[in-house]
Chains A and B, each alone.
Chain A
């Protein structure tokens, strides 16, 4: 739904490579009974009135500015045409801009943030990108325009799915998801999707900055693995074999309500909170661990014991389970590195479900999404310094960014979104009972996932201050 306090007219930008089915989609939108008065700006077309709609031809004119700053690059043709449209008495409810197949969506989007006249009367609702599911493969690797159109999108239509096998389609969706982890991906034939999926999406709206499905964020967690177990009451042991040269291994063993994948999800937040408070980790001192919402530090220099069946010594840490039930174990390092096993009174216990959090190997996609989610409060000075440096040096490579931040000392959530170097952010509603955390995503070219994560984490206040 449109924001009721905003009287500005929404604009949707429709992009897509040649032959993707963009024009078919546009015609579908125009002929559907949606009750909206829509103006369409098409490339190279005369001005034609179609019933309620108005179709105006535009020829792409990129205005770069003298200072060479990429974020100052706007579309002069759109400023002229939109400026004129907004003077008309019969105001439009909606404006659609169809770009050429080779258009860079950056200047189009920036026009709505860089030109005061446009910004005061119009807002960019979303970038909708149509992808030819059959032919896009050949362009994903080597056509920058196709990569940019996918990277900028709020909604991606995988079109012409009738020409592709389901496994190929899954493969394509996974690949596109890797490039843009926050766009809504819809599978269509002939662009056939309800119009509500395309209009009033709110892709650039701050109050929807984090309507991001966290499942799709390729997040960095401070642990590499989780498993959920059904454990009987009684003594257990966590047994590790000597592994890599890590001095310690942090683990969380949290009681959860179900021994299934849902139990891992349930324990995720607890585990993150516990890992964030590393300074408070309870170092193993010989007493049995008890499942609770705390971080245990297992010294890997712990004197090993001889293995029952010989071989090099193994390390065993006792665990006391007082109540039969489901428990989720989160481990800092991948258990396979230490041949980790959970042994019950009788025999080895195996996880009912497990999940790996190790960042996946990078595809060779130039365009990727980097998601960051972490509890903790940000020190605003550090955040400002990091962000301004990031945007100054990497701005041209960052197509979109959005997120919700927890700023130290502030009662409200801080929401932001941006295009290249343009940053738009403000305090939002109070956190109240909602746990404070940071969730953000960058979509761009040649993004350094590790550096972005490290830079962001350096902006966090000391964990001790998170949970005094």
Chain B
């Protein structure tokens, strides 16, 4: 069955006043949280009504993360704090404020089961319970932690295999895998360079990083080997895996570059190049297929749509299997695109821009 060409249709737009630094969908009742770089956080209902406004963080908010399946939103910012907000309460209410350990708390990640929250502030990586008890502070990293994520490794030596996902942190000098159960790192993958973002593949085989020196690395979790992909014109801060773990979409240029990890790839393969943006790509996001929304392609497999946004203020939808010169659907915002996130059911794409505009697009095949 040939899929119809998807459409991007604007459902609503709002203005939060300043560069949209973070967008996050709750997985419970679908709500969108949007943080302005200066601090305030706005909660939107699916229909665009404002459900609440949170003060956020003095000097600026940096990150948002909903506790999976709950109305609890965690935020981090440049007041050195991690704040937890109960957004079921009318307008939202602050539950807790935790000290991240440095002036700027920049990254947050809930373990997928929602039982633990990790925070990164400067060189400090801390793990908390949802009620604010500090579970562990790991040994300081050698430099500021650039990104963190939880990953369930596909396979690591059995004696080291944890029952739960492990925490991975990227910093200058490589990435480190940690278990909340122990003080010593599970593994350290060293590389003389600076990783800016990381994205574990959904199958746990790879941890991809985007790097300051205009490269992308694929760390093979099982043995710590890495594949280095060079040739980007600029640093890479945009990474997104498709839910089958076959494709990794990357920015780092005015094209969307897609690596195919199927078969022998990605090593030695030529990436697919989606060439349409007129300025640097600033956001990429595959649909996550976490809900039941799965239209079939000709070959019967679900093929997630890929959304891209650029400093050219344009949005595009793609399918990643072929290099293309034109997207399947496109839209234009008023300012450079800063954030792109799919709704939990993959039917809506939320976009934020550098001037403070938040827009919700309906996506139909």
User: Which A residues contact B (CB, under 8 angstroms)?
Assistant: 46-47, 49, 56-57, 59, 61, 63-67, 72, 74, 76-77, 79-80, 84, 87-90, 115-117
Which B13-49 residues have a C-beta within 8 angstroms of A? 17-19, 21, 37-38
Query: In the complex the two chains form, is A116's CB within 8 Å of B234's CB?
Result: yes
Inter-chain contacts of A56 with B (CB < 8 A) = 103
Q: Is B357 part of the binding interface, using a Cβ–Cβ cutoff of 8 Å?
A: no
Q: If the complex has contacts A64-B192, A76-B144, A89-B18, are A115 and B103 also in contact, measured as CB distance less than 8 A?
A: no
- Does B212 reach chain A (CB closer than 8 Å)? yes
> Which residues of B are found within 8 Å of A61, using beta-carbon distances?
143-144, 172
Please determine whether A65 and B144 come into contact, CB atoms closer than 8 angstroms.
Answer: no
Given contacts A88-B38, A115-B235, is CB(A77)–CB(B19) below 8 Å? no
Binary CB contact string for chain B from 55 to 88 against chain A (1 if under 8 A, 0 otherwise)? 0000110100000000000000010000000000
Contact B235 A116 (CB under 8 A): yes
Q: Which residues of A contact B78 (CB under 8 A)?
A: 47, 84
Main secondary structure of the interface of B (DSSP, over half): loop
Residue of A nearest to B234 (CB): A116
B60-A84 in contact (CB<8A): yes
Indicate if the CB atoms of A76 and B37 lie closer than 8 Å: no
In the complex, whether B114 has a CB less than 8 A from a CB of chain A is no
- What band does the interface of chain B fall in when counting residues whose beta carbon is under 8 Å from A? 20 to 34
Chain B residues lying within 8 Å of A49, measured Cβ to Cβ, are 59
Q: Give the CA-CA distance A59 to B280 in the complex, in Å.
A: 29
* Other 6 A-B pairs with CB < 8 A, given A47-B59, A66-B191: A47-B78, A61-B172, A64-B192, A80-B144, A89-B37, A117-B235
Given contacts A65-B212, A84-B37, contact A89 B235 (CB under 8 A): no
**B295 in the interface, Cβ–Cβ < 8 Å?**
no
- Complex CA gap A159/B21 in Å reads 43
Bits for B278-304, please: 1 = Cβ < 8 Å to A, else 0.
001000000000000000000000000
A310 to B309, CA, bound (A): 93
Of B21, B192, B193, B234, the contact of A87 (CB 8 Å cutoff): B21
Docked-complex contact A63 and B234, CB < 8 angstroms:
no
- Closest residue of A by beta carbon distance from B142: A61
Closest 8 CB pairs of A and B: A87-B19, A89-B18, A116-B234, A63-B194, A87-B37, A65-B213, A66-B193, A61-B143
A77 to B194, CA, bound (A): 11
Query: Do A74 and B19 have beta carbons less than 8 Å apart?
Result: no
Closest A residue by C-beta to B18 = A89
Distance (whole angstroms) from the CB of A56 to the closest CB of chain B: 8
Tell me the complex Cα distance, A450–B271, Å.
50
B192 and A65 contact, CB distance less than 8 A: yes
Give chain A residues whose Cβ lies under 8 Å from the Cβ of B280. Answer: 116
> Are B38 and A89 in touch, CB under 8 angstroms?
yes
Selected from A66, A74, A88, A116, the residue in CB contact (under 8 A) with B60 is A88
In the assembled complex, the Cα of A76 lies from the Cα of B196 at a distance in Å of: 10
Q: How far is the CA of A47 from the CA of B235 in the complex (A)?
A: 27
How far does the Cβ of A361 sit from chain B's closest Cβ, in whole Å?
43
CB distance from B119 to the nearest CB of A (A): 16
CA distance A117 to B38 in the complex (A): 20
Q: Please, which residues of chain B bring their CB within 8 A of the CB of A84?
A: 37, 60, 62, 78
State how many angstroms separate the Cβ of A103 from the closest Cβ of chain B: 16
10 inter-chain pairs at a CB distance below 8 angstroms, sorted by A residue, are A47-B103, A56-B103, A57-B103, A63-B193, A63-B212, A87-B37, A88-B37, A88-B60, A89-B17, A116-B235
Q: Which residues on the B side are within 8 Å of A59 (C-beta)?
A: 122, 144
**Distance of A76 Cα from B144 Cα, bound (Å):** 9
Chain B residues with CB under 8 A of A46: 103
B310 within 8 A of A: no
Tell me the residues in window 232-289 of chain B with beta carbons closer than 8 Å to chain A beta carbons.
233-235, 280
Which one of B122, B193, B194 has the highest number of Cβ atoms from chain A below 10 Å of its Cβ?
Answer: B194
CA distance A72 to B215 in the complex (A): 14
Contact residues in A for B233 (Cβ distance below 8 Å)? 116
User: B354 an interface residue at 8 Å Cβ cutoff?
Assistant: yes
Q: Considering the chains assembled together, what is the distance between the CA atoms of A59 and B172 in angstroms?
A: 14
Q: Does B200 contact A (CB under 8 A)?
A: no
Residue in chain B with minimal CB distance to A57: B103
Indicate if the CB atoms of B191 and A77 lie closer than 8 Å. Answer: no
Q: What is the CA–CA distance of A45 and B234 in the complex, to the nearest angstrom?
A: 31
Q: Does B356 contact A (CB under 8 A)?
A: yes
What is the distance, in angstroms, from A123's C-beta to the closest C-beta of chain B? 17
Identity of the chain A residue whose Cβ is nearest the Cβ of B237 in the assembled complex: A117
Q: Which residues of A contact B172 (CB under 8 A)?
A: 61, 63, 76
Q: Which residues of A contact B17 (CB under 8 A)?
A: 89
Residues of A close to B356: CB separation below 8 A? 89
Question: How many angstroms from the CA of A84 to the CA of B194 in the assembled complex?
Answer: 18
A residues near B103, Cβ cutoff 8 Å: 46-47, 56-57
A417 → chain B closest CB, angstroms: 22
With A47-B78, A116-B280 known as contacts, the answer to whether A88 contacts B18 (CB < 8 A) is yes
List the A residue with the shortest CB-CB distance to B214: A116
Query: What per-residue 1/0 map shows which CB atoms of B204-233 lie under 8 Å from chain A?
Result: 000000001100000000000000000001
CA distance A77 to B234 in the complex (A): 18
Q: How far is the CB of A259 from chain B (nearest CB, A)?
A: 61
Task: Annotate B133-152 by CB proximity to A: 1 below 8 A, 0 otherwise.
Answer: 00000000001100000000
